[in-house]
């Protein structure tokens, strides 16, 4: 890996981390905004949903656009929109402007996150890709994990301070990307260049939407649905069923964050080399299924803690494993592939919490029972993917 490629990867990691930080930065500030402006819970819910909706609609379109015009212009535009969204949120005290800010933020996430992953796939060889995808996944997770904490600390100065800070960082990141990111043609991995010389660059959706790829997209949807369905009600579930205190819950989530970063940064690449992507995906679905069943049947707090860490760790490895396999499916449609990946993730992120909340009202165990059904079905589907893609 050359110095230029390493520098590009560092810039991509920082950009992805920054945007994910912005996604979660708003979480601790929401109560202040709600009380300060006398908003309803529905207003806050719509504000959050608009971000996911914009991301869902824009991701495949922007991904395809980046395949045609290049990654760098899309990344620069995405970081500019990120800065605009954060500054808008900091400037306004009107609900419609907050909503507009979150829509712009969703567009920026749709432009930066999948495009960064697509560019990483363009500039790395197949043997390097798992390591870099693990780093990008860690940046994604790290931003989401650290965002609420940083937002809470800055909000002590002023509840708009997190957004001014994020906007300033967005400006710096955009300038760094413009000035420091080399031309894409100078970064392309040798095997990507060779593949593009032998294949037409005008590849359409049908050229890579084969049966195994469709199954992988289904698994992306299931994994995001399962994670959000599991995580969104976790605090309520363990509090009501196992009488976890706030300190217990905070400890579990902190341990999970630390383990997640270690797994994605230090271990993911080694696990891919050891098991290959398909087997790793299969094991992750199995352990997430087994861990969820263990939580349902558990009789003590320590059992719940261990099972929870197994489930979260499985999910944390599952998404980068599927993403790595998807990036190897095509040499000319990385933007579209990663855009569809992000779009389906957004769908799962919206549907999962809604369904789990509705089922929780019926019975505390229903949400996790439904999640286990989807995880078990996906585990069985991995055998079909293995048979179809064994030659890869």
Reported as a single tens digit per residue, the pLDDT across 155-183 is: 778 878 888 888 888 888 888 888 888 77
Average pLDDT, the chain: 81
3-197 — its CATH code?
1.20.1250.20
Give the N- to C-terminal CA distance of the chain in Å, as an integer: 23
Range 63-68 average pLDDT: 85
Pair 4, 182: CB distance under 8 Å: yes
pLDDT value of residue 388: 44
Higher pLDDT, 212 or 359: 359
Residues 6 or more apart from 53 whose CB is under 8 A from it?
Answer: 103, 106, 346, 350
Kindly report the CA angle at 260 between 255 and 261, in degrees rounded to 5? 105
Residue with tokens 């549907």: 351
Q: Give 12-64 as a DSSP string.
A: HHHHHHHHHHHHHHTGGGHHHHHHHHT--HHHHHHHHHHHHHHHHHHHHHHHH
Range 133-161 average pLDDT: 79
Higher pLDDT, 349 or 7: 7
pLDDT grade for 392, boundaries at 50, 70 and 90: very low
Whether residue 296 has pLDDT greater than 80: yes
Exposed, middle or buried, 328 (CB in 10 Å: 0-12/13-18/19+)? middle
Pair 199, 333: CB distance under 8 Å: no
Architecture of the structural domain at 205-389: Up-down Bundle (1.20)
Whether residue 244 has pLDDT greater than 60: yes
pLDDT value of residue 391: 40
Range 338-367 average pLDDT: 80
pLDDT grade for 205, boundaries at 50, 70 and 90: low
pLDDT grade for 196, boundaries at 50, 70 and 90: low
Whether residue 206 has pLDDT greater than 70: no
Q: What helix, strand, coil percent values describe the chain, rounded to 5?
A: 85, 0, 15
Highest mean pLDDT among 72-76, 196-200, 317-321: 72-76
pLDDT value of residue 390: 38
Instruction: Give the whole-number percent of the chain exceeding pLDDT 70.
Output: 89
CATH 1.20.1250.20-classified regions of the chain: 3-197, 205-389
Higher pLDDT, 145 or 259: 259
Instruction: Give the whole-number percent of the chain exceeding pLDDT 90.
Output: 11
* Low-confidence winner among 95-109, 170-184, 331-345 (lowest mean pLDDT): 331-345
Range 49-62 average pLDDT: 84
* Low-confidence winner among 103-107, 257-261, 374-378 (lowest mean pLDDT): 257-261
pLDDT grade for 290, boundaries at 50, 70 and 90: very high
Higher pLDDT, 263 or 289: 289
Highest mean pLDDT among 29-33, 193-197, 368-372, 388-392: 368-372
Whether residue 365 has pLDDT greater than 60: yes
* Torsion sign over Cα 230, 231, 233, 238: positive
pLDDT value of residue 104: 93
Range 330-342 average pLDDT: 75
What is d(CA 172, CA 97) in angstroms, rounded to the nearest whole number? 24
pLDDT value of residue 389: 41
pTM of the complete model: 0.73
pLDDT value of residue 198: 59
pLDDT value of residue 107: 92
* Low-confidence winner among 250-254, 303-307, 317-321 (lowest mean pLDDT): 250-254
């Amino acid at each position: 890996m050359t110095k230029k490629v390493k520098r590009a990867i560092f810039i991509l990691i920082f950009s992805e981390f920054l945007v994910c930080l912005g996604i979660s930065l708003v979480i601790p500030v929401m109560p202040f905004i709600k009380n300060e402006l006398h908003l309803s819970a529905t207003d806050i819910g719509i504000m959050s949903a608009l971000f996911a909706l914009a991301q869902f609609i824009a991701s495949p379109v922007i991904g395809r656009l980046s395949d045609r015009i290049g990654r760098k212009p899309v990344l620069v535009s995405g970081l500019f929109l990120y800065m605009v969204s954060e500054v808008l949120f900091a400037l306004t005290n009107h609900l419609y402007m907050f909503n507009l800010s979150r829509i712009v933020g969703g567009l920026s996430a749709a432009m930066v996150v999948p495009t960064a992953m697509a560019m990483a796939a363009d500039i790395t060889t197949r043997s390097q890709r798992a390591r870099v995808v693990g780093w990008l996944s860690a940046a994604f997770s790290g931003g989401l994990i650290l965002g609420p904490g940083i937002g809470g600390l800055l909000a002590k100065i002023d509840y708009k301070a997190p957004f001014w800070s994020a906007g300033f960082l967005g400006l710096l990141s955009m300038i760094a990307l413009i000035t420091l990111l080399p031309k894409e043609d100078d970064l392309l991995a040798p095997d990507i260049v060779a593949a593009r010389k032998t294949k037409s660059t005008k590849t359409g959706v049908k050229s890579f939407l084969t049966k195994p790829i469709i199954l992988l997209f289904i698994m992306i949807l299931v994994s995001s649905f399962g994670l959000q369905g599991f995580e969104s009600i976790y605090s309520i579930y363990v509090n009501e069923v196992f009488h976890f205190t706030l300190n217990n819950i905070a400890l579990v989530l902190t341990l999970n964050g630390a383990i997640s970063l270690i797994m994605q940064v230090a271990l993911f690449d080694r696990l891919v080399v050891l098991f290959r992507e398909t087997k790793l995906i299969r094991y992750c679905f199995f352990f997430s299924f087994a861990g969820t069943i263990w939580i349902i049947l558990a009789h003590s707090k320590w059992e719940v803690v261990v099972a929870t860490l197994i489930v979260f760790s499985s999910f944390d490895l599952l998404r980068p494993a599927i993403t790595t396999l998807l990036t190897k499916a095509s040499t000319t449609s990385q933007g579209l592939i990663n855009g569809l990946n992000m779009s389906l993730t957004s769908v799962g992120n919206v549907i999962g919490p809604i369904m789990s909340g509705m089922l929780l009202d019926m019975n505390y165990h229903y949400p996790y029972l439904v999640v286990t059904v989807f995880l078990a079905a996906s585990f069985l589907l991995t055998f079909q993917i293995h048979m179809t893609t064994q030659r890869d």
